[in-house]
Structure 1
Amino acid sequence: MALGWMWALGLYKSVVLVLFLLRRNPVQAAAAEMFGVSQATVSRRWTALLPVVEKVLARHVPDPGEASAGRVVLIDGTLIPTWDWASEGTTMFSGKHRDTGFNLQAAATLTGGLLAVSAPVPGSRHDMHAWRRSHFPEAFAEREGMGDLGYVGSGLLTPRRKPPGQERSTGDKVANHAINAHRAAVERAIAHLKDWKIFATRYRGPLTRFPLVAKTVTALAFYKKGWFYNGTVFCSAGVPMLLSGGWVEGGGGYRVRVGCGVWGAWWYRAARVPGVGVPGRFGGVGVCLARAASRGKGMSSTSTRGRGVPV
C-alpha cells in the first residue's frame, strides 16, 4: 500500500492517531476533529498503519512457555463487546454476559503479570472451548494452573461445585475461597489490558479485523511493561530501553525500527525519497520510541530528539 499521502498528517502523528484509536476508542469522526483531518484520512491511517505497529511490536511478545517458567499460571476469559451485526446471527452473542462480542482467554501470574492472550473466538462459545482452541494447553502443559468453574475438566485447579441438593462442606468453602483469592490476580491483569478502551468499550470495526487489533493491543501491553524478546534489555529509572532491534518491513517501501527512552524521550530518523517526501516522526505510547527509514538510493537523512507524546 502506497504511503505517499502520509504527508497530510505526518508519520509520527499518524502513528499517534492509531494508538489513540486503540487507547480511547473514539468514533473516527471525533478523532478526525481532534487531529484536524477528515474521517476518510483517519480511516486510511488506521488501515495502513495498524499492521505495521503490530509487526514492529510483535517481537516484544514473550513466548508463554518461557515467560511462565517456574510460575503458577492463572487463566480466565473475558468478553470484548462488539456491535451486534445482523449478518452474524447469534454467533457473537454470549448468554453469560447477555451481550455480543469476542471471547478472549488471558493468562497471568500470581502477582497479576500478563503472560499471554489467546486469539479471539465468538462470544457464544464457552470458556472451555476457547481454552481448547487456544495455544494455552500446550504452552502451559508443564505448569500448575488455576481457573474458575468454567474450566472444570481442563486439568486446571478449579473451585469445587456445590453438590446437587446439598450445601458445600466447610472444607470446600475454605478451598474455594483460597483459589478465588489467588485468581483475583488474573482479573486485575484483564482489567489493565482493558485500559485500552477498544477492549473495554464496544468495538465498532469489521469483525474480520479484530484479531489484528487484539494482537496489537496485547503487544502494546507487553511493550509497556518492558518485555523484550530476542533483544538486549536495559532499565533506567524503571523504564526499559531497547539497544538492539531489527528492522520490520512496512508498506510503501518503508522499514521501521522501534526503541524507547527514559520518561517519554523519543528519537527518529526520517529519510527523504525523491517523489515521496519526508515521512516525519514515528512515535508511540508514553516512553515508546521509533525510527522510520526508507529503502532505496539517493536518500538524504535527518535526525532529531525531543519529547514523546503519551497517549
Structure 2
Amino acid sequence: MITASEPSWIAPFTGLSPRQFGKLVTALRREGADEVRKGRPWSLPLEGRALLVAAYWRTNLTMRQLAPLFGVSKSAADRIIDHRGPMLALQHRKRFAKDTVLIVDGTLVPTRDHTIAAQSKNYRYSTNHQIVIDADTRLVVVVGRPLAGNRNDCKAWEESGAKAAVGKTLTIADGGYPGTGLVMPHRRRKGEDLPDWKQAHNKSHKQVRARVEHVLARMKTWKILRDCRLKGDGVHHAMLGIARMHNLALAG
C-alpha cells in the first residue's frame, strides 16, 4: 500500500524530495488545509491526501485503480481529489522587480469535458493554458484560466487573465502573439532578408524562449495533462498544482 510515511513513495509521484514534500505539507497546514471539518473524518492524514492527489495527477489512473493503492474507497479518493486539488494550487506572483523578464507560451491539454474544451489544431478536444515563467529562475509565476483549445494564443493571452496578472512587466513570446505588445521575433517581409542585427536578435530570443518550452515539457510528464478526465475547474487546479510542485522541485 502506498503511504506518505514511507519516503520512497514521495519522489516518484511528486517529483519532490521528502524534505521538499514536508515543506509543502507544512505550507498546506498553514493555509488551513488540515482544519477539522464537520461530518466523517478523512480516512488519510494530510500527507497521505496530498500524496494521493499527486499520484492521481502523475499517473492519471481511474479512481477504481487508485483507491486500493492507498487503502481507501473509490468515493473517498474522489472526495480527496475534489477537496485537496484546489488547495495545492500555485499562488500567482503579484509583484515583479523592475528588471524582471518573463516568458509566456500556450499549451494544449486534451480535456474530455466538452463544456470547457473545443476541437483544436490537433483535432482533439483540448483546453488552452497560458503559462508564464520567470526567464531567470524558470519558476512558473502565472497560469492563465483555461480556454477552449481553438482559441488563438494572442486572444488567450488577454482572455485567460495572464496579461492582467503580469501587468507591464517585460514579457517575451513566440510569433503567435501579434498585436499583443509582447516582445516577439522579427518577421521577414516577402522578398526581403532580415539584416544581421535582427537575425542575431532572433537567435538570442529563441534561446531564451526555449526555457518556457523546457518547463512545459517537464510539466507534461504528469499524465493528467495528456488526457484530463476532470470536469469544470479540475484541469485548472491540476495545472496550478503541478506548477507549484515544479517550483518546489526547482527551488530546492
TM-score by length of 2: 0.72
Matching of residue 26 in structure 1 with residue 61 in structure 2? yes
Matched residue of 1:17: which SS?
Answer: helix
Which letter does structure 2 place at the counterpart of 1:153?
A: G
**Where do 5+ consecutive residues of structure 1 fail to align?**
227-238, 240-311
How far, CA to CA, are the matches of 1:42 and 1:141 in structure 2? 39
How far, CA to CA, are the matches of 1:3 and 1:221 in structure 2? 34
Asked which structure has the greater CA Rg, the reply is 1
1:155 offset after TM fit, Å?
1.0
Of 121, 124, 129, which aligns to 1:104?
129
How far, CA to CA, are the matches of 2:39 and 2:193 in structure 1? 63
Of 26, 37, 40, which aligns to 1:4?
40
Distance change (3 Å), C-alpha of 1:205 and 1:138:
closer
The structure that is helix-richer by fraction is 2
Indicate the residue corresponding to 2:230 in structure 1.
Answer: 205
TM-score by length of 1: 0.59
1:209 offset after TM fit, Å?
2.9
Per mean C-alpha deviation after superposition, the further-off stretch among 12-21 and 216-225 is 216-225
Moved over 6 A (4+): none
Distance change (3 Å), C-alpha of 1:27 and 1:183:
same
Indicate the residue corresponding to 1:122 in structure 2.
Answer: 148
How far, CA to CA, are the matches of 2:127 and 2:104 in structure 1? 16
Which letter does structure 2 place at the counterpart of 1:176?
A: N
Distance change (3 Å), C-alpha of 1:37 and 1:148:
same
RMSD: 2.8
Which letter does structure 1 place at the counterpart of 2:162?
A: F
Matching of residue 222 in structure 1 with residue 247 in structure 2? yes
Matching of residue 93 in structure 1 with residue 128 in structure 2? no
Matching of residue 73 in structure 1 with residue 108 in structure 2? no
Matched residue of 1:74: which SS?
Answer: strand
Indicate the residue corresponding to 1:63 in structure 2.
Answer: 93
Query: Does structure 2 retain, via aligned residues, the 8 Å contact 1:119–1:214?
Result: no
Query: Does structure 2 retain, via aligned residues, the 8 Å contact 1:147–1:158?
Result: yes
How far, CA to CA, are the matches of 2:102 and 2:50 in structure 1? 34
Give matches, 1:37-186, under 5 Å. Answer: 37-51=72-86, 53-54=87-88, 61-66=91-96, 69-83=98-112, 85=113, 88=115, 92-95=118-121, 97-111=122-136, 112-164=138-190, 166=191, 168-171=193-196, 172-186=198-212
Which letter does structure 2 place at the counterpart of 1:117?
A: V
Query: Does structure 1 retain, via aligned residues, the 8 Å contact 2:110–2:125?
Result: yes
Distance change (3 Å), C-alpha of 1:11 and 1:139:
closer
Which letter does structure 2 place at the counterpart of 1:65?
A: R
1:37 offset after TM fit, Å?
3.1
How far, CA to CA, are the matches of 1:81 and 1:202 in structure 2? 5
Which letter does structure 2 place at the counterpart of 1:205?
A: L
How far, CA to CA, are the matches of 1:194 and 1:69 in structure 2? 31
Matched residue of 2:176: which SS?
Answer: helix
Of 204, 209, 214, which aligns to 1:188?
214
1:73 offset after TM fit, Å?
1.4
The structure that is strand-richer by fraction is 1
